[in-house]
Copies of this chain bind each other. A is one copy, B any other.
Amino acid sequence: MTDDTAGDSGAGSDSRPVVYDLAPDCTAADVETGALYHAVVNGVVDYGVFVDISDNVSGLVHESNLDDSYDVGDSFVVELVEIKENGDIAFDEAGVDDYRTETVDHEPDITSIASLSTGTDATIEGRVAQIKQTGGPTIFHVADDTGIVSCAAFDEAGVRAYPDVDLEDLVRIDGHVETHDGTTQVEVSSLSELDGERAETVRERLDAAFEERAEPHTVDPLVEWPAFEKLRDDLRDVARLLRQTVLEGRPIRVRHHADGDGMCASIPVQLALENFIADVHENPDAPRHLFKRLPSKAPFYEMEDVTRDLNFALEGQARHGQKLPLLLMLDNGSTEEDVPAYQNLAHYDMPIAVVDHHHPDPEAVEPLLDAHVNPYLYDEDYRITTGMMCVELARMIDPDITDELRHVPAVAGLADRSKAEVMDEFVELAEQQGYDRDDLGDIGEALDYAAHWLRYSEGKALVNDVLNVGCDDDTRHRELVEFLSESAERDVADQLDAVEDHVEHERLKSDAHLYTVDLDNFAHRFTYPAPGKTTGELHDRKVRETGEPVITIGYGPDFAVLRSDGVRLDIPQMVAELNDEVKGGGVSGGGHLVVGSIKFVKGMREEVIDSLVEKMAEADIDDELSSTAALD
Interface check A602, CB cutoff 8 A: yes
Stretch from A42-50, A134-142, A244-252, A610-618 that touches the partner: A134-142
| Chain-B contact segment, one of A258-266, A325-333, A343-351, A434-442 | A343-351
A interface, size bucket: 35 or more
Q: B-facing mask of A507-522, CB < 8 A → 1, else 0?
A: 0000000000010111
Whether, in the assembled complex, A453 has its beta carbon less than 8 Å from a beta carbon of chain B, the answer is: yes
Q: How many copies does the complex hold?
A: 3
Instruction: Tell yes or no: A369 within 8 A of B by CB.
Output: no
* Residues B483 and A347 in contact, CB atoms below 8 Å apart: yes
Is A523 positioned at the interface, with any CB of B under 8 Å from its CB?
Answer: yes
Bound state CA distance, A460 and B282, in angstroms?
A: 31
Report yes or no: A307 in contact with B181, Cβ–Cβ below 8 A: no
Given A347-B483, A483-B347, A487-B340, the answer on whether A311 and B457 have CB atoms closer than 8 Å is: yes
A134 surroundings in chain B (CB, below 8 A): 181-182, 284
Whether, in the assembled complex, A83 has its beta carbon less than 8 Å from a beta carbon of chain B, the answer is no
Residues of B within 8 A of A453 (CB): 303-304, 307
Let me know if A601 is at the binding interface, CB within 8 A: yes
Provide the bound-state CA to CA distance between A502 and B607, in Å. 14
Q: Out of B319, B340, B462, B584, which one reaches A500, CB within 8 Å?
A: B584
Evaluate contact between B136 and A522: CB separation under 8 angstroms. Answer: no
A290 at the B interface (CB under 8 A): no
The smallest C-beta distance from A46 to any residue of chain B, in angstroms, reads: 57
A603's partner among B136, B310, B521 (CB-CB below 8 A) is B521
Q: With A135-B284, A182-B134, A453-B307 known to touch, is A502 a contact of B603 (CB < 8 Å)?
A: yes
Q: In A470-496, which residues have CB < 8 Å from any B CB?
A: 476, 479-480, 483-484, 487
**Contact, CB under 8 Å: A347 / B502:** no
| Minimal Cβ-Cβ distance residue in B for A179 | B157
Q: A284-B158, A523-B601, A601-B522 are in contact. Are A584 and B499 (CB under 8 A)?
A: yes
In whole angstroms, how far apart are the Cα atoms of A157 and B455 in the complex?
Answer: 36
Picked from B133, B454, B602, the residue with its CB within 8 Å of the CB of A284 is: B133
The residue that A601 contacts in the complex, of B454, B462, B498, with Cβ under 8 A, is B498
Q: A154-B182, A479-B347 are in contact. Are A604 and B522 (CB under 8 A)?
A: yes
| 13 new A-B contacts at CB < 8 Å, known A307-B450, A522-B601, A522-B604 | A135-B285, A157-B282, A158-B182, A303-B487, A304-B453, A307-B454, A307-B462, A344-B484, A344-B487, A347-B480, A497-B586, A499-B584, A521-B604
A-side interface residues toward B, CB under 8 Å? Answer: 133-137, 154, 157-158, 179, 181-184, 282-285, 288, 303-304, 307-308, 310-311, 314-315, 317-319, 340, 343-344, 346-348, 450, 453-455, 457, 459-462, 465, 476, 479-480, 483-484, 487, 497-502, 518, 520-525, 528, 558, 583-584, 586, 599, 601-604
